[in-house]
Chains A and B, each alone.
Chain A
């Protein structure tokens, strides 16, 4: 099938308004939220229903054409980077909330639904959808599913994977499966849904997703505490969590971040070496009691100032400052590189020191803003693209930072994913066997590797027969099933 025929076939499935094939238009899809890698897709298709997705994938499978699924295109690891001579399946027109089931605490959505719409849809009933990545106002549930998105509240409430209860998935061969129990718990069989969530679009395309919603907490209290440096703030974090408190969120910003945020959105943060924002939620009595404990711990760790949000407005202001941090870097640096790494909480101090050393060694500023509760760091390496060589230097430094995370028992990524960007680092965290075994899963879902190829794993595994004696499946032996 040549390109013209492919366009025609896709137009038959989707109508002319669902197929993008002009070069200039295709170019707007050549990267997602990460601009470092760009590939012009052969074709972009915009399905409006699961049936259309199935037909698109079936066509790709029959013709051996690779495809990549994409939601809002906000990913920061190049997970939705198109594949050359491939089809980009953009799910932004599949944005219906299909069902709200309050008695079972479930909402069923299409993949293009924006994260925050789910909470809005059930807000009047007193419910919300817990995972709240910083991009929740724009990122889609399908994309959240692919990346297993976190958010500031995931320390207490868990990640996307803990809130997705079922999915209808179009597999690479065009077949449709329903994995996870959906409304019913504990579906028998392998935890295919758990494996699918966070697979970065390499195992299939979710076309219908069942989410769990939670009752809004009875009380929410937020404070902001200023410290001399990140070490003292880190001491407070350890004190809070060591005291048996599970805060809804606990976020840290260093001096450089505070400076940038002040310049951009002026939340009126105190001048300090580090700031913590701590939020507790839950039943009134519990929150009140533990909030006093948090204040005590901050005082014990020599907080220079503690501000308690007196109302929703002040609380929103704290969060505004925190959430604007990435974008605000533009006010103190021309360019910046967002890193995403994880360290065990107890190693935070050591790793922050290492980052400071690296910053000095490379002569580049690094701003730190992170989810302190779960050790998820977002160092922002500041550089200037116009200074020759500085971009490369920044990337190298960012790489050194994740290696430091690994050395201290952490991970390459806490929420942005491996995607295209961190493929090269995978061997630092996993052995060849680890990655081979992971790819067995890929081989089961997508033996021909047409579903988002060239992501996560630096060396693709062939899915052919493995060496060793061949055993016919007993079901086959018994004549109960054909070869599968």
Chain B
């Protein structure tokens, strides 16, 4: 752990005395402990903090709800945690325009609660509790409803960022349709704090659907899951009809669930048709809105716990059978226990493994090797530090790594933003 000469007083001068604190062990990012946690309240303060950090060469890790600080590789160094906790204002919600502008530190739950007053919502539903807008954008988190609404990159319409050198810049705007200038909102989506601090984000909103039905089917053979998923996505329930199509597999039992949201007569019609389609595969059940809510709360969770290895596998949706085979096979060979979940409609599978360290490393390597051949990616989203140190969290990155580095170098030439956590050691 490296400690720089951190000018605490100067920081206090910027954000106020009470908003700079000594870091504790809990603030460590993958074992790398920062010196201070700074909580600016405004973009101007954030800019001043960054100017100082840039001047002093301090490594900065932006942090929102702290739900994803374990994403990526362990950082090379962290001097400051820049917390967006105090930047928690919803700046503007215009129901008639179906847009919202919010500061990065607004928690998603709080935002949704406020939007619900106007029967609206932001169409992202990542499972982490307590996540902030900024963190969700930075990590590009998604949940089941991405099948209908897309991911953050599809919903974000404007952004305000603070670069490493303190420069404040915006892109996009507060209208849904807009092609003026480069779309930096998308560039910052998923950049994991390595290009700058996300200070504000603007989103397009959707109306809250009147009611919902969930149709699910239990299977005892994981090979059935891909067939059912394909059948559903290529029947008349595809994107924009089906709101979610998810799978789960644990202890040799699996469930495939489809969510229909909308007006009562529509969801009734669609769910009963889904029952027909699924009927040939086994016994199906239909849940109403309330039961469904409880069901999804459990169902959408990531299939791992602390100490497990958790993988996010992105693959062509029609390749799901091969994905499941490779995971199940690798786990068997390494004698590890597995649990799976995933967005079966879009080709994202989450796999949680528990077992011994060597076995876990082998699993990741084996699954990755198959994906290199068949297309897609395998990202380690959760792992004990010992495993993390033996693996790259991101895996192979294709031919765009050089370009990725050039982008990083232009936005953060001093490499002070979250150094080392991102792809290719960025």
Contacts and interface: CB of A to CB of B under 8 A. Distances in A.
A binds B: yes
Interface of A: 101-106, 147-148, 150, 154-159, 161-162, 171, 175-179, 181-192, 194-195, 197-199, 214-215, 217-218, 238, 241-242, 244-246, 282-286, 289-290, 342-346, 371, 374-376, 409-418, 422, 426, 429-431, 433-438, 440-445, 456, 463, 465-466, 468-471, 473-475, 480, 484
A344 B157 CA distance: 12
B405 interface: yes
Contact of A468 (B165, B188, B399, B422): B165
Interface string B286-326: 00000000000000000000000000101111110000000
B231 to A, nearest CB: 11
A186 B381 CA distance: 13
B266 A285 contact: yes
Interface in B238-293: 238-241, 262-263, 265-266, 268-270
Contact of A471 (B98, B233, B236, B413): B413
Given A192-B400, A238-B96, A342-B178, 19 more contacts: A101-B318, A103-B234, A105-B317, A154-B177, A155-B176, A161-B183, A189-B394, A194-B186, A246-B206, A285-B268, A344-B174, A409-B173, A411-B177, A429-B181, A433-B168, A433-B169, A440-B411, A475-B425, A484-B409
B184 interface: yes
B23 to A, nearest CB: 22
A430 B420 contact: no
A286 B263 contact: yes
Contacts of B142: 186
A182 B206 CA distance: 27
Contacts of B318: 101, 103-104
A409 B406 contact: no
Interface stretch (B12-20, B60-68, B82-90, B372-380): B372-380
B241 A414 contact: no
Contacts of B346: 185
Nearest to A443: B410
Those 10 A-B pairs whose CB atoms lie nearest each other, nearest first: A194-B186, A103-B318, A244-B207, A286-B266, A437-B169, A184-B376, A183-B316, A215-B238, A346-B96, A444-B406
Given A184-B315, A433-B169, A474-B76, A346 B94 contact: yes
Most A CB within 10 A of own CB, among B54, B210, B262: B262
A102 B151 CA distance: 22
A105 B187 contact: no
Q: Which residue among B150, B179, B239 has the maximum number of chain A CB atoms within 10 Å of its CB?
A: B179
Contact of B180 (A188, A285, A413, A466): A413
B188 to A, nearest CB: 8
B190 interface: yes
A343 B175 contact: yes
B377 A186 contact: yes
A441 B98 CA distance: 30
A441 to B, nearest CB: 5
B59 to A, nearest CB: 11
Interface in B352-399: 375-377, 379, 394-395, 397-399
Nearest to B379: A188
B177 A190 contact: no
Given A434-B170, A474-B419, A178 B399 contact: yes
A282 B407 contact: no
Contacts of A415: 177, 179
Contacts of A157: 240
Nearest to B414: A471
A410 B407 CA distance: 29
Contact of B403 (A171, A376, A438): A171
Nearest to A437: B169
B12 to A, nearest CB: 24
A32 to B, nearest CB: 16
A444 B395 CA distance: 23
Given A414-B179, A418-B181, A190 B407 contact: yes
Contacts of B42: none
A112 B398 CA distance: 25
A189 B400 contact: yes
B163 interface: yes
Contacts of A475: 424-425
B420 to A, nearest CB: 7
B173 A410 contact: yes
B329 to A, nearest CB: 20
B174 A178 contact: no
B348 A437 contact: no
B167 interface: yes
Nearest to A439: B182
Contact of B179 (A185, A417, A484): A417
B121 to A, nearest CB: 11
A199 B407 contact: no
A58 to B, nearest CB: 16
Contacts of A184: 314-316, 347, 375-377
Contacts of A410: 173, 175
A183 B99 CA distance: 30
B403 A444 contact: yes
A191 B190 contact: yes
A158 B290 CA distance: 30
Contacts of A471: 57, 413-416
Contact of B425 (A183, A345, A431, A480): A480
Contacts of B94: 344, 346
A413 to B, nearest CB: 5
A463 B406 CA distance: 11
Nearest to A345: B97
B332 interface: no
A194 B189 contact: yes
Contacts of B186: 161, 191, 194-195
A431 B413 CA distance: 22
A189 B404 contact: yes
Nearest to A159: B177
B183 A194 contact: yes
A105 B238 CA distance: 10
Contacts of A417: 179
B187 A188 contact: no
Nearest to A245: B207
Interface in B181-218: 181-191, 195, 206-210
A345 B177 contact: no
Given A158-B154, A283-B270, A434-B171, A214 B316 contact: no
Contacts of B269: 283-285
Contacts of B402: 175, 177, 484
Nearest to A290: B263
